[in-house]
């Protein structure tokens, strides 16, 4: 007598159960990579990310700004110059990336590199850490350093753009953060009322106040306005809504021409001129900022939120000037807000004979174990105004530096033009400086400075002038 | 001219044995090659541990060679797949322990030597089956005394606060009595049921009489001894082993009686026990909750299980390669969760190989049981020993893959654990002995 029947049934039971185990294993092995591994709490994903040897970041002259260092199997990202913090942003396993680290994340991680036999062998087979490309950016460490030092503890934004290339030479947003200590300080930083992660250059939609006079001056020049005739009581404050707008600097006399009013940043003559010619005369120049709604550095800061409710039918009424623009907007204290970056591009357009260069920051890329190759740049420009108009605006700006509220920007032997302005946002006073230095025909640098909670136009002009002078010096030394 | 022809008589039995020996040798050589390739690959990733890997390779090879030659000499007609498959799984386990917990690698290799000696002792000693059968109460009481003593003297080598203290030991040497008790209990049950077998299996018995044959007088002693064991294990929170005991008991009872009602009522008892355990014991509640849905507790109670599932996902079909994955993210992966490490570093292919090996062990074990015509003790013993290997593997493989709730048992031959390895080799020795007609 044997147990043949029972043993056969037992065997069948084992086979069925082991088959079930096989099915489960196959499910997790085949379906799992697309489901389980994509989970936020997948530590392996974090480990793989942590093992990536991100590429280094260098400035335009080749100075090392950021590097990845491997210690005991853990890759550390090291930011070598505090002056570059607001431009370079941060990279964190836990909190993602911002600034240049975010804008060029794909390159720095090496995610764009084609799958070759070498990458297959090193990454897929041997699981060696993924290596990213090194990148050289348009920032200049020395210019950035000079600006940060000049800004001191103040809050605000400074941006310098090269003409005609559109290279962003400096991008300073203060206060900022230390990316080397980001993980440790994140809770405090993210809750800080000073908003250190807010990129004031790119995201700071400031009231332009008197700074909009450069746009109005371009509009006036385009409309062949009379810049010589004198306006009575031109230095008197004007009331825009509940805000009283004053000259950025008290002029020597009360009656001023449009040219003199621009030099001292007095709003009354511009208000009178706009009322005289109508808002339609200003619309084309201010429309430049609307025509290029994404006038920013892609990836550096969150993209503008698109309000799908705000259809053109709701936001504009063709044929009615008031619906598009009113006097408050035209005088920089209405609903029109501008970022320092947009103003710097506008100033760059004035240097470039009325054509705004497309700004960018990527100069060259060096994939792992390869040579540097230049980044593909977009050399097209955005037409803003005519050559003649831009020339006239430049002369107005030169006049403001020579004898006006922007005189603190002056540097010997440099062809600097500029304009200061005061703006009011809530209970805050903002000081603007928009300027340029011309180093050749359609060549030079533009700058915008915004100081928060400050009415010191001389300081803004001084910082702007310093940034321009330093940019010229570094460019000369590089040549 | 007449050609002179001669015929050579070929003994088919000798031919079959020669073929089986060739297969056995071939499998051992393949296992050695597998170990060599993987340890070489591992030494590329961790060059500092090369000496350890060499020692592992050499000692495993010596155990395999010595085992083969001694078995060849004393059990020439043994089953030809059991030993190489067990050595293959054991070698794979050694690789994984060296890779995942190098500090335990040397200890495990020492246990392999001890286990190999135990295997050979089991196969070479005269009449071990007779000893197991004749002194079954003595063995069982001895095993229970050791198990009870863990309540007072037990320790946990991991020294984790609150972990079950299931080991007895001196200095660094620890032994888990429940591992030995598994074999003792199977021998006891097999022996007892073999004695009651004629009454339980009489062809003329009707169902009601057959059920009556399971009277307390007949089944009482067995239930008592089994119950004491299970209660102690539950007391010691060794739920995995308790479940294993129950399932083996059920299988032996089913095979000896041939009654499907035993299986049905046994499974019903399992469900009732699970329901009661869910209400009464936090540990059972947690295990069942995370089995149903581990994801809300992915960073808490279900961390180990979720990491295990992600290990299988990370391994995919072909695996990450040895030393290339992150199976060490799974807590105690070198012990209970070693199957997850296989899934991550050798992928689905590795998993299939392990399952195929264990299933083959089970098939061979049941085949040995089937060959014991007219010898119910030997048949039931083979079934029980096979069940220990098969069920324990199914419990832990199913647990780490979320087929079943998790039970903390080792994967036979592969997981880290000296007691487990030792008793797995004793089981192997007994099965080899049972497979050999001359015994």
Q: Is A155 left (phi over 0), alpha (psi -120 to 50) or beta?
A: beta
Q: Is residue B299 in a domain?
A: yes
The token pair that represents A255 in the structure block: 């009656």
Flag if A37 and B317 touch (Cβ within 8 Å). Answer: no
Write down the number of H helices and E strands in chain A. Answer: 20, 19
Flag if B394 and A33 touch (Cβ within 8 Å). Answer: no
Residue B29's pLDDT band, with cuts at 50, 70 and 90, is very high
Tokens 């039970």 correspond to B407
Q: Is residue B221 in a domain?
A: yes
In the predicted model, is pLDDT for residue B439 greater than 70?
no
3-state secondary structure of A261: helix
At A126 the pLDDT is 72
At A55 the pLDDT is 95
In the predicted model, is pLDDT for residue B237 greater than 80?
no
Q: How far is B1 from chain A (nearest CA, A)?
A: 58
Flag if A7 and B324 touch (Cβ within 8 Å). Answer: no
Separation of alpha carbons B238 and B409, rounded Å: 9
At B251 the pLDDT is 92
Residues of chain B positioned with their CB less than 8 A from the CB of A24: 398, 401-403
Report the chain B residue with the minimal C-alpha distance to residue A45.
B314
- Substitution target in B193, B256, B310 with the highest count of A β-carbons within 10 Å is B310
Residue B249's pLDDT band, with cuts at 50, 70 and 90, is confident
Report the chain B residue with the minimal C-alpha distance to residue A127.
B324
At A291 the pLDDT is 57
Pick from A2, A5, A25: CB nearest B379: A2
The token pair that represents B182 in the structure block: 């598994």
Pick from A5, A21, A127: CB nearest B403: A21
Q: How far is A21 from chain B (nearest CA, A)?
A: 6
Decide which of B187 and B158 is more confident: B187
At A243 the pLDDT is 81
What domains, with CATH codes, occur in chain A? 45-120+130-137 (3.90.1310.10), 141-360+381-478 (3.40.710.10)
Decide which of B85 and A310 is more confident: B85
Flag if B312 and A14 touch (Cβ within 8 Å). Answer: no
Flag if A125 and B321 touch (Cβ within 8 Å). Answer: yes
Query: pLDDT of B383-438, one tens digit each?
Result: 999 999 999 999 999 999 999 998 888 999 999 988 899 999 999 999 999 998 76
Residues of chain B positioned with their CB less than 8 A from the CB of A16: none
At B275 the pLDDT is 85
Residues 238-297 of B with CB under 8 A from A: 251, 254-256, 258
Report the chain A residue with the minimal C-alpha distance to residue B316.
A29
At B236 the pLDDT is 64
At A130 the pLDDT is 83
Q: Is residue B161 in a domain?
A: yes
Q: Is residue B61 in a domain?
A: no
Q: Does A21 touch chain B (CB under 8 A)?
A: yes
Flag if A41 and B255 touch (Cβ within 8 Å). Answer: no
Helix B82-100 × helix B347-370 angle, to 10°: 150
Q: How far is A114 from chain B (nearest CA, A)?
A: 21
Helix B216-235 × helix B136-153 angle, to 10°: 20
Separation of alpha carbons A236 and A254, rounded Å: 7
Residues of chain A positioned with their CB less than 8 A from the CB of B397: 21
Closest CA to B355 of B406, B412, B404: B412
Task: Give the residue-averaged pLDDT of B344-349.
Answer: 95
**H or E segment at A145?**
helix A141-151
Separation of alpha carbons A28 and A22, rounded Å: 10
Q: How far is A69 from chain B (nearest CA, A)?
A: 20
Flag if A6 and B255 touch (Cβ within 8 Å). Answer: yes
Number of domains in chain B: 1
SS3 content of chain A, % helix, strand, coil (to 5): 45, 20, 35
**For each of chain A's 479 residues, which pLDDT tens digit applies?**
568 889 999 999 999 999 999 999 999 999 888 888 888 778 888 888 888 899 999 999 999 999 998 877 678 899 999 999 999 999 988 888 889 999 999 999 988 888 788 777 777 777 777 889 999 999 999 999 999 999 999 999 999 999 999 999 999 999 999 999 988 898 898 888 888 888 899 888 888 889 999 999 999 999 888 888 888 888 888 887 778 888 988 888 888 999 999 999 999 999 889 888 888 888 877 777 765 555 677 777 754 333 333 333 333 333 333 334 677 777 888 778 889 999 999 999 999 999 999 899 999 999 988 899 998 877 778 888 899 999 999 999 999 999 999 999 999 899 999 999 999 887 789 999 999 999 999 999 999 999 999 999 999 999 999 999 999 999 998 87
Flag if A18 and B394 touch (Cβ within 8 Å). Answer: yes
Pick from B299, B316, B398: CB nearest A29: B316
Q: How far is B259 from chain A (nearest CA, A)?
A: 9
Q: Is residue B7 in a domain?
A: no
Q: Please say whether the beta carbons of A442 and A415 come within 8 A.
A: no
Q: Is residue B139 in a domain?
A: yes
Closest CA to A89 of A299, A276, A313, A383: A299
Separation of alpha carbons A396 and A258, rounded Å: 10
Q: Does B347 touch chain A (CB under 8 A)?
A: yes
Q: How many Cβ contacts (< 8 angstroms) between chains A and B?
A: 127
Decide which of B219 and B113 is more confident: B113
Pick from B309, B362, B403: CB nearest A14: B362
Strand partners, A383: A355
Residues 367-396 of B with CB under 8 A from A: 369-370, 372-374, 376, 379-380, 383, 390, 394
- Substitution target in A39, A44, A48 with the highest count of B β-carbons within 10 Å is A44
Q: Does B220 touch chain A (CB under 8 A)?
A: no
What's the ipTM?
0.90
Q: Please say whether the beta carbons of A274 and A175 come within 8 A.
A: no
Q: Does A17 touch chain B (CB under 8 A)?
A: yes
Q: Please say whether the beta carbons of B388 and B375 come within 8 A.
A: no
At A409 the pLDDT is 95
Q: Does B362 touch chain A (CB under 8 A)?
A: yes
Query: pLDDT of B171-220, one tens digit each?
Result: 777 777 788 888 988 998 898 888 877 766 665 556 566 556 566 666 66
Q: Is residue B73 in a domain?
A: no
Range of the domain at B304: 127-435
In the predicted model, is pLDDT for residue B164 greater than 50?
yes
At B5 the pLDDT is 56
Report the chain B residue with the minimal C-alpha distance to residue A36.
B310
Separation of alpha carbons A460 and A406, rounded Å: 8
At A420 the pLDDT is 95
Q: Does B314 touch chain A (CB under 8 A)?
A: yes
Q: Is residue B352 in a domain?
A: yes
Q: Does A125 touch chain B (CB under 8 A)?
A: yes
Flag if A21 and B362 touch (Cβ within 8 Å). Answer: no
């Amino acid at each position: 007598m044997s147990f043949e029947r029972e043993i056969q049934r037992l065997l069948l039971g084992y086979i069925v159960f082991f088959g079930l185990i096989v099915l489960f294993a196959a499910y997790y092995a085949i379906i799992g990579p697309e489901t389980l591994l994509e989970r936020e709490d997948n530590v392996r994903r974090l480990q793989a990310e942590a093992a990536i040897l991100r590429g280094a970041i260098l400035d335009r002259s080749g100075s090392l700004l950021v590097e990845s260092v491997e210690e005991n199997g853990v890759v550390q990202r090291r930011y070598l110059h505090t002056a570059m913090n607001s431009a370079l942003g941060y990279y964190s396993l836990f909190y993602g990336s911002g600034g240049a680290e975010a804008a060029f994340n794909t390159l720095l991680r090496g995610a764009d590199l084609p799958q070759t036999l070498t990458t297959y062998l090193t990454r897929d087979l041997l699981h060696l850490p993924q290596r990213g490309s090194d990148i050289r950016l348009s920032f200049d460490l020395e210019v950035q350093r000079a600006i940060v030092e000049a800004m001191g503890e103040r809050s605000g934004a400074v941006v310098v753009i090269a003409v005609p290339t559109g290279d962003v030479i400096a991008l300073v947003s203060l206060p900022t953060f230390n990316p080397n200590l980001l993980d440790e300080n994140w809770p405090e930083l993210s809750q800080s009322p000073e908003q250190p992660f807010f990129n004031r250059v790119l995201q700071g939609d400031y009231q332009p106040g008197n700074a909009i006079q450069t746009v109005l001056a371009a509009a006036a020049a385009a409309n062949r306005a009379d810049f010589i005739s004198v306006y009575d009581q031109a230095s008197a404050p004007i009331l825009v809504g509940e805000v009283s707008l004053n000259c950025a600097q008290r002029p020597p006399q009360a009656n001023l021409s449009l040219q003199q009013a621009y030099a001292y940043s007095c709003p009354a003559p511009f208000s009178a001129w706009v009322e005289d010619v109508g808002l339609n005369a200003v619309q084309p120049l201010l429309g430049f900022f609307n025509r290029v709604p994404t006038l920013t550095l892609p990836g550096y800061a969150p993209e503008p939120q698109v309000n799908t409710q705000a259809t053109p039918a709701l936001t504009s009424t063709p044929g009615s000037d008031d619906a598009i623009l009113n006097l408050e907007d035209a005088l920089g204290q209405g609903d029109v807000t501008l970022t320092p970056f947009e103003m710097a591009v506008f100033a760059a357009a004035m240097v470039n004979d009325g054509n705004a260069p497309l700004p960018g920051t990527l100069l060259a890329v060096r994939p792992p174990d390869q040579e540097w190759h230049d980044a593909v740049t977009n050399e097209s420009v955005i037409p803003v105004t005519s050559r003649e108009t831009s020339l006239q605006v430049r002369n107005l700006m030169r006049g403001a530096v020579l004898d006006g509220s922007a005189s603190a920007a002056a540097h010997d032997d440099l062809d600097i033009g500029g304009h200061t302005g005061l703006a009011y946002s809530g209970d805050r006073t903002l000081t603007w400086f928009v300027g340029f230095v011309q180093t050749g025909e359609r060549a030079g640098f533009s700058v915008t400075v915004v100081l928060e909670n400050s009415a010191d136009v001389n300081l803004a002009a001084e910082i702007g002038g310093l940034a321009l002078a330093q940019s010229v010096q570094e460019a000369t030394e590089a040549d | 001219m007449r050609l002179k022809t001669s015929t050579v008589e070929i003994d088919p039995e000798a031919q079959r044995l020669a073929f089986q020996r060739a297969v056995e040798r071939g499998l051992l050589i393949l296992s050695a090659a597998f170990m060599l390739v993987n340890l070489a690959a591992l030494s590329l990733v961790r060059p500092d541990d090369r000496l350890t890997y060499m020692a592992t390779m050499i000692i495993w090879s010596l155990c395999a060679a010595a085992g083969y030659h001694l078995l060849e000499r004393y059990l020439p007609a043994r089953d030809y797949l059991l030993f190489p498959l067990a050595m293959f799984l054991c070698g794979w386990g050694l690789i994984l322990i060296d890779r995942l917990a190098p500090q335990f690698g040397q200890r495990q290799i020492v246990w392999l030597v001890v286990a190999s000696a135990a295997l050979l002792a089991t196969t070479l000693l005269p009449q071990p089956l007779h000893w197991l059968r004749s002194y079954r109460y003595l063995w069982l009481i001895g095993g229970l005394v050791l198990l009870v003593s863990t309540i007072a003297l037990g320790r946990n080598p991991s020294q984790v606060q609150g972990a079950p203290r299931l080991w007895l030991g001196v200095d660094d040497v620890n032994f888990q009595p429940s591992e030995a008790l598994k074999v003792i209990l199977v021998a006891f049950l097999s022996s007892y049921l073999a004695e009651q077998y004629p009454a339980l299996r009489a062809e003329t018995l009707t169902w009601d009489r057959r059920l009556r044959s399971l009277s307390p007088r007949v089944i009482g002693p067995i239930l008592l001894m089994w119950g004491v064991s299970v209660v102690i294990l539950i007391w010691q929170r060794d739920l995995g082993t308790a479940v294993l005991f129950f399932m083996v008991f059920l299988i032996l009872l089913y095979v000896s009686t041939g009654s499907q009602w035993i299986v049905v009522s046994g499974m019903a008892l399992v469900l009732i026990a699970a329901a009661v355990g869910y209400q009464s014991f936090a540990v059972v509640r947690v295990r069942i909750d995370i089995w149903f849905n581990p994801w809300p507790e992915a960073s808490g109670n279900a961390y180990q299980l979720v990491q295990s599932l992600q290990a299988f996902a990370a391994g995919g079909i072909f695996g990450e390669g040895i030393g290339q994955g992150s199976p060490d993210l799974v807590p105690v992966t070198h012990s209970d969760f070693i199957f997850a490490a296989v899934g991550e570093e050798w992928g689905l292919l590795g998993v299939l190989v392990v399952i195929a090996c264990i299933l083959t062990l089970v098939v061979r074990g049941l085949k040995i049981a089937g060959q014991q015509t007219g010898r119910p003790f030997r048949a039931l013993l083979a079934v029980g020993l096979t069940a220990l290997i098969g069920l324990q593997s199914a419990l832990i493989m199913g647990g780490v893959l979320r087929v079943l709730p998790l039970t903390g048992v080792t994967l036979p031959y592969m997981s880290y654990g000296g007691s487990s390895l030792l008793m797995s080799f004793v089981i192997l020795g007994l099965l080899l002995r049972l497979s050999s007609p001359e015994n």
